[in-house]
């Protein structure tokens, strides 16, 4: 699409001029308690979906609220002359407990100001993911209001169950594969490196997770009568779990490191430029010494190395007071973070063998596999990534960091496996946004420059660069 040169800066001017109405629309969405994990809020989830679908229809999208077995999806389409983009976000939010730690009603959003004059939005969903998806919708609005068109064909796909394990996602993708066809996907549920450095997430660790129960005696036993000769399953479980790592922090499961490769040189170079402070990273959470694989940098441990983690352990009497009992059972919950070509099913099967090989007579183990996903590596040299990096550089005045991600974003795997699309992951959240926690926030700078960034990204992808220089100040509200 060849926009007249004089129209290009007007799109960014619109974003700056209309920031206050954009915030009003965000606040309207934030006021809806769309908590997907609690059936009590099912009506609110539908209300949020309806609000978004109606708004997109008003912008000229053909939109619908699509029912599922759980909460509805929002699907909206708009034709354009450039590539066809599938944009993914989610409108559901986490529960707000503990409520007494919030400074105000979690669904009564407000802008707060620091002593240095910087401002931020406080409310559940402000960062994860309502503020993030809003930046893209507002960028589409800016293009439509100033040019009457979009630089690309756009399908917007908004989920309502991301915070409750996405049970309807894969079935919906399979059933609507043709409707959701596109050239590639854009996903906004990610972070910047810091307040001034945008980022693209180029790798996601996979997972394998589940539970194990070890059973010994037929019933709980009095420790005064049976202490000594009776096998204690808690102690046994602890010994087995301790054997999952050697003295250097390497995981001892057979075949665990199959498929673990080196970090690509471009990624290593990008990480080296970040100025990551290992001491500050650990110090922020009250720690001082790295505890992972010996010889591996902390950033590599977080983004590029696999892990074995014990997430919960229980057995015996854990209530108030004391009970001298040898329990008959002990339980643990575990997860493995995977990288490269590690196979989650093989990893979990190796864990089961590891436990069974260490069981003494009279003890049994039962396992519950809770699913998993492979790691995702994205091409840092694709045309789409180069376009997004160029757009971000134009807006932020600095090169976008290429990050790894220690966690998983299952939708990226689903979009790849079911729709056959590669994804570009770019978002404007910060690590201190307190997502899933009380007083969740989203920087006003992230919201404002996030909209401007998406305007530039859409223009770059559609072959229309927006040439106005980056705006550094926040308009008065």
Distance CA 338, CA 5 (A): 48
Pair 129, 64 in one domain: yes
Rg over CA atoms, the chain: 25
Tell me the CA distances in angstroms from 290 to 19, 105, 287, 299, one per residue in order: 43, 38, 8, 11
Contact (CB, 8 A) for 58 and 36: no
pLDDT band at 57; cut points 50, 70, 90: very high
Asked whether residue 413 is assigned to any structural domain, the reply reads: yes
Pair 144, 223 in one domain: no
Asked whether residue 334 is assigned to any structural domain, the reply reads: yes
Distance CA 370, CA 207 (A): 10
Q: Is the dihedral of CA 337, 338, 344, 346 positive or negative?
A: negative
Instruction: Output the average pLDDT for the chain.
Output: 94
pLDDT digits (tens, 9 = 90+) for 170-205: 999 999 999 999 999 999 999 999 999 999 999 999
Pair 49, 122 in one domain: yes
Asked whether residue 271 is assigned to any structural domain, the reply reads: no
When mean pLDDT is compared across 4-8, 161-165, 354-358, 458-462, the lowest value belongs to: 4-8
What is the rounded average pLDDT of the residues 400-408?
90
| Structural domain boundaries enclosing 63 | 5-204+376-461
Pair 110, 196 in one domain: yes
Pair 123, 197 in one domain: yes
Pair 14, 126 in one domain: yes
Asked whether residue 345 is assigned to any structural domain, the reply reads: yes
Least Cα distance to 200 among 129, 271, 114, 300 occurs for: 271
The per-residue pLDDT for 5 is 45
Domain harbouring 72, CATH code: 3.40.630.10
Distance CA 43, CA 49 (A): 10
Distinct helix (H) and strand (E) counts, the chain: 14, 18
Pair 420, 447 in one domain: yes
Pair 364, 445 in one domain: no
Least Cα distance to 231 among 242, 213, 212, 215 occurs for: 215
Distance CA 455, CA 448 (A): 11
What is the rounded average pLDDT of the residues 330-356?
97
Q: Provide the 3-class DSSP secondary structure of residue 104.
A: coil
Q: Is 257 exposed, middle or buried (0-12, 13-18, 19+ CB in 10 A)?
A: middle
Asked whether residue 145 is assigned to any structural domain, the reply reads: yes
Asked whether residue 477 is assigned to any structural domain, the reply reads: no
pTM recorded for the entire structure: 0.87
Domain end position, chosen among 326, 357, 373:
373
- Kindly report the CA angle at 240 between 235 and 244, in degrees rounded to 5? 140
pLDDT digits (tens, 9 = 90+) for 439-448: 999 999 999 9
Domain end position, chosen among 328, 344, 373:
373
Asked whether residue 270 is assigned to any structural domain, the reply reads: no
The per-residue pLDDT for 472 is 47
Pair 72, 143 in one domain: yes
Tokens of 45: 């989830």
Which residues, at least 6 apart from 175, have a Cβ–Cβ distance to it below 8 Å? Answer: none
Domain harbouring 246, CATH code: 3.30.70.360
Asked whether residue 277 is assigned to any structural domain, the reply reads: no
Domain end position, chosen among 373, 408, 425:
373
Pair 166, 177 in one domain: yes
Q: Which residue has the tokens 């945008």?
A: 198
Pair 112, 22 in one domain: yes
Pair 168, 184 in one domain: yes
Q: Could you tell me which residue, 466 or 6, shows the higher pLDDT?
A: 466
The total number of structural domains that make up the chain? 2
Q: Is the dihedral of CA 114, 117, 122, 126 positive or negative?
A: negative
The per-residue pLDDT for 178 is 98
């Amino acid at each position: 699409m060849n926009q007249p040169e004089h129209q290009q800066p007007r799109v960014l001017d619109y974003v700056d001029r209309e920031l206050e109405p954009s915030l009003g629309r965000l606040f309207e969405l934030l006021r809806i308690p769309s908590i997907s994990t609690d059936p009590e809020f099912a009506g609110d989830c539908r209300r949020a979906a309806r609000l978004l679908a109606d708004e997109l229809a008003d912008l000229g999208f053909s939109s619908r609220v699509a029912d599922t077995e759980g909460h509805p999806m929002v699907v909206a389409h708009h034709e354009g002359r450039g590539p066809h983009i599938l944009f993914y976000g989610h409108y559901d939010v986490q529960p707000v407990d503990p409520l007494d730690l919030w400074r105000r009603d979690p669904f009564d959003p407000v802008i707060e100001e620091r002593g240095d004059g910087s401002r931020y939005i406080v409310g559940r969903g402000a960062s994860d993911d309502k503020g993030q998806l809003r930046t893209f919708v507002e960028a589409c609005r800016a293009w439509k209001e100033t040019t009457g068109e979009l630089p690309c064909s756009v399908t917007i796909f908004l989920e309502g169950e991301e915070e409750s394990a996405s049970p309807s996602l894969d079935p919906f993708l399979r059933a609507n594969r043709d409707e959701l066809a596109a050239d590639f996907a854009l996903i906004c549920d990610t972070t910047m490196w810091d307040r001034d450095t945008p980022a693209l997430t180029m790798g996601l660790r996979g997972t394998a997770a589940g539970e194990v129960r070890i059973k010994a005696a037929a019933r709980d036993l009095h420790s005064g009568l049976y202490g000594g000769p009776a096998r204690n399953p808690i102690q046994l479980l602890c010994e087995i779990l301790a054997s999952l790592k050697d003295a250097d922090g390497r995981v001892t499961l057979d075949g665990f490191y199959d498929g673990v490769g080196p970090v690509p040189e471009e990624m290593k170079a990008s990480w080296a430029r970040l100025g990551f402070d290992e001491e500050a990273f650990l110090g922020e959470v009250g720690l001082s010494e790295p505890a992972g694989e010996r010889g591996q940098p902390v950033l590599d441990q977080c983004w590029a190395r696999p892990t074995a983690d014990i997430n919960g352990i229980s057995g015996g009497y854990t209530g108030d007071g004391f009970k001298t009992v040898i329990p008959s059972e002990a339980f643990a919950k575990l997860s493995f973070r995977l990288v490269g070509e590690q196979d989650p099913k093989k990893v979990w099967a190796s864990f089961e063998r590891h436990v069974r090989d260490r069981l003494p007579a009279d003890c049994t183990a039962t396992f519950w596999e809770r699913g998993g996903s492979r790691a995702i590596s994205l091409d840092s040299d694709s045309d789409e990534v180069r376009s997004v990096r160029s757009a971000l550089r134009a807006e932020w005045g600095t090169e976008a960091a290429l990050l790894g991600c220690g966690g998983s974003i299952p939708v990226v795997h689903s979009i790849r496996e079911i729709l056959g699309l590669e994804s570009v992951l770019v978002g404007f959240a910060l690590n201190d946004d307190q997502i899933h926690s009380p007083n969740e926030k989203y920087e006003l700078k992230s919201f404002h420059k996030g909209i401007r960034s998406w305007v530039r990204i859409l223009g770059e992808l559609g072959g229309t660069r927006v040439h106005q220089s980056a705006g550094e100040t926040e308009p008065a509200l």
